[in-house]
Structure 1
Amino acid sequence: MLKRVAAALAAFLMVSAGAAAAQVQTRAQALAQDAGEYARLYGVAQDEALRRLHAQADSIPVTDAIADQYRARLAGISIQHRPDYRIIVYLTGSEAVPERRIRAGGMTVPVTFRTGAKASRERVVWAITYHQAAIRAALPSPPSMGLDPRTGELVVIAGNVVTAQEGGAGALDAKLSALTGVPVQVRVMDRIDRNLGLHGGSRVDGIDPANGKRYRCTTGFPVRDATRSGITTAAHCLDDMTYYAPDRSTLPLSFVGQWGWGYHDVQIFAGAAPERPLIYSDTARTVERPVERQVSRPSTRAGDFICHRGESSGYSCAEVELVDFAPAGDLCGGACLPTWVAVAGPTCKGGDSGGPVFSGTTAYGIVKGASYRKDGSCAFYFYMSLDYLPAGWSLVTEPALVPPRPNLPHTR
């Protein structure tokens, strides 16, 4: 039995004979695939798209340093894609900061500083955390909320019912601004937030003993603690799951544990250590790419162009919308903390839960859920940063394991 479990998890981590037929990309090939999506979405040449994705990665240390330098004034940092590619830094106060130009990805990237924000990022995130219950109580149903780093506002995403209230969304802006002490923008969207269903980088599924129905999820990233290796998926997936290889062969999995409250939605299955940390990066599961590093949530910016793969929706890429995001409802064992990252649609479906979020060979997080419009289309999805892997577990990278990250507080 132990040998069977070890063999199963080796396959689950995509190093088995069942996965051997897939093409393993180089770093350059992985970025070229994502650049193809960027070029299609923004109408630029492939080589320009590739330069911009290199610039996105290379500019992270610069924006991290800017965030530290202007922490007391920082309202947000975002990436602009149109009409040109540049970094926008939004600050409180009126003291101007001259534009900078940096070299990143083989191109010159302007860094533009805007002033006049009414509240710092730290104040807005604190307001979300402290006033979340009161904001929820002020609306007919619990909204999602987050900081928009482009405007410095606390964004409350509510259903159409608010337009029927006295004064509509504008009056609610003023009411919630007075309540929280920070600028608030109510965005009306007829949508439903929910976890992305139990459906499957690769497919896993199982039967819920409570109702006898079969559900699927998506596998995420290889991880390791001091003694074990494993693979992630979402905590709201079933505990008893079976792995489905691309050739439709099946293997049972060994459950380790799940963490699913407040700022967590992650489950781990353990087994034999992978020879290489690989994830599927195409819809058909014929292409794999190595995992070489991870980007933390503090280093993630609105406008970053990232991709995900879900068993139901396949491979797609889009922009980060909100970095300090609290999903609506009680999807986190109660109200969610503003520690999630929201990414623009239109591609997400039930069954994508647990899937990997990445750019090139860099890991970002694990898909949790999505917000759907009334017609069923995907407005945006949201993921858990790998910063919040359970204590003692860390991402497996190539060629070596990333040192374990310290436990992080619920909010930054």
Structure 2
Amino acid sequence: MGSNRLWLLLLCALLTATPAVAQTVQTRGAALAQDAQEYARIYSVPLPEAIRRLSAQHDSVPAIDAIAERYRDRLAGISIQHRPDYRFIVYLTGNAPVSQRWVEAGGMRVPVQFRTGAKASRERVVWALTNHQAAIRAAVQSNPSMGVDPRTGELVVIAGSTAVAKAGGAAALDARLTELTGVPVQVRALDQVDRNLGPQGGGRLDGTDPASGKRYRCTSGFLVTDGARTGITTAAHCLDDLSYFDPQRRATPLSFVGQWGWGYHDVQIHAGPAPARPLFFADTARTIQRPVEGQRSKSSTRAGDFVCHRGESTGYSCAEVTLLDFAPAGELCGGFCLPTWVAVAGPTCKQGDSGGPVFSGTTALGIVKGATFRPDGSCAFYFYMSLDYLPTPWSLLVNIPR
């Protein structure tokens, strides 16, 4: 294998140590159809309906963003409803009613339903979460995870069942934290362990920890550029010295550029020659390469968005966005994390998925940081860093359709 081809495969991410197989570069339509198959399976709808809904999810972003901006002062949250029908729900403060409207997107006429009566705007809840984290941890006497649920307009606090019981139960703790923060709070009892997803568990970016001598692995993500160089992302908590192992198990050391892993960052970049196209593997078997044709910002991400991720331990899977402005439990960000992360429902996440791509169709959203695990080791949800937080001057490398 020539050096240019080797680097191309490396930078396309998520590469395998199994024998090489034929690889297909997906069209935008084929990428949509693959994700729609998962949607159809999960929501028990026909495949054509699933394709229409995911097309509507993508095409509706400008119109829903415009609604969010129009009602910014009253906005408590925006979510997507999948059952019993497909619609957008806009939750507003105050009691002044807003009539239902429709958005033309993806060949569908999707209802936009307005609900009123929220007790606080999203901006106010995010402010409260950001400024009262330490006080909330002290009140709960543990290190809970926290986030904003756009479906209910509440600050969600997820704590262990023992901590909740010691505080008098969820209802009593709801009332106490609501008084403390000045915004509605919902306490959820979940015996959990929040972890960064690596560096271990089956990735194809390998390195040896100089302190322990143990070999660890992570997952690579998207191609990025600083205008002069092309790089590949992974998680900052992975090892600095990583190598790519090709299908013949030949190691190619990567060129470490830098890592950003504090507060709202968990990204590391390795540089290499520019590839022909920005691609990533989007299937478990690593036979399908998907082009990156766009980026979705965190501000345009809604609760209920159906997104997919690809990890070396778990392969390809899709699920709903559950919480925005999420702050994981524990000191996973060089200290406690800021509420900037996005949480996505399980059950698919494992050690080794760290750094992997989160996407919808050919649109890139973020890179996996970590996950919340139940006591039995199952995945409750995972969380990712939005590509909004790529370090300056790095930006996502986007494929220009031919």
Question: Shared topology, TM-score over 0.5?
Answer: yes
Give the letter aligned to residue 161 of structure 2. Answer: N
- The AA in structure 1 aligned to 2:11 is L
Letter aligned with residue 10 of structure 2: F
Q: Is the 8 A contact 2:323 2:344 kept in 1?
A: yes
- Distance of 1:340 and 1:143 partners within structure 2: 15
Task: Determine if the alignment matches structure 1 residue 34 to structure 2 residue 35.
Answer: yes
- Displacement after TM superposition at 1:244 (Å): 2.7
Contact 1:306 1:319 in 2 (8 A): yes
* Mapped partners of 1:161, 1:214: distance in 2: 36
Deviation at 1:22, TM superposition (A): 1.1
2:10 to 4, 9, 12: 12
Q: Which amino acid aligns with 2:12?
A: M
**Per-residue displacement from partner, 1:98-138 (whole Å, max 9, x unpaired)?**
00012110011000000000000000000011001111122
* Correspondences of 1:141-152 after superposition (within 5 Å): 141-152=142-153
The one-letter code of the counterpart of 1:62 is A
TM-score after normalising by structure 1: 0.93
Which one is further off, 166-175 or 323-332? Answer: 166-175
Instruction: Give the equivalent residue in structure 2 for 1:370.
Output: 371
Give 1:104's aligned residue. Answer: 105
Determine the structure 2 residue equivalent to 1:233: 234
Q: In structure 2, what residue type is equivalent to 1:120?
A: S
Equivalent residues in 2 for 1:193-272 (5 A)?
193-199=194-200, 203-246=204-247, 248-272=249-273
Give the aligned partner of residue 72 of structure 2.
71
Which position in structure 2 is the counterpart of 1:116? 117
Q: Letter of the 2:116 partner, please give it.
A: T
Aligned counterparts, 1:120-159, within 5 A: 120-159=121-160
Q: CA RMSD in A?
A: 1.8
Q: Which one-letter code corresponds to 1:101 in the other structure? A: W
Contact 2:202 2:218 in 1 (8 A): no
Give the residue type in structure 2 aligned to 1:359.
S
Report Cα offsets for 1:294-318 as digits up to 9, x if no partner: 0000000000000000000110000
Query: Any stretches of 5+ residues in structure 2 without a counterpart?
Result: none
CA distance in 2, matches of 1:370, 1:326: 11
Aligned-residue offset at 1:166: 4.6
Deviation at 1:364, TM superposition (A): 0.3
Residues 8 and 253, structure 1, Cα contact 8 Å, conserved in 2: no
For the 8 Å contact 1:14–1:278, the answer to whether it is kept is: yes
Determine helix, strand or coil for the equivalent of 1:365: strand
C-alpha contact 1:199 1:312 (8 A) present in aligned 2: no
- Is 2:397 aligned against 1:396? yes
- The whole-number CA distance in structure 2 between the counterparts of 1:272 and 1:200 is 28
Aligned-partner Cα distance in 2 for 1:141–1:25 = 46
Counterpart of 2:82, as a letter, is: H
Change (3 A) 1:393 1:214: same
The residue type paired with residue 132 of structure 2 is H
Asked whether the 8 Å contact 2:203–2:353 carries over to 1, the reply is no
Deviations 1:135-160 (A, max 9, x none): 11222321110111000000000011
Distance 2:342 2:239 in 1: 23
Give the TM-score taking structure 2 as reference length: 0.95
Partner of 2:278: 277
Unaligned runs of 5+ residues in structure 1 are 401-412
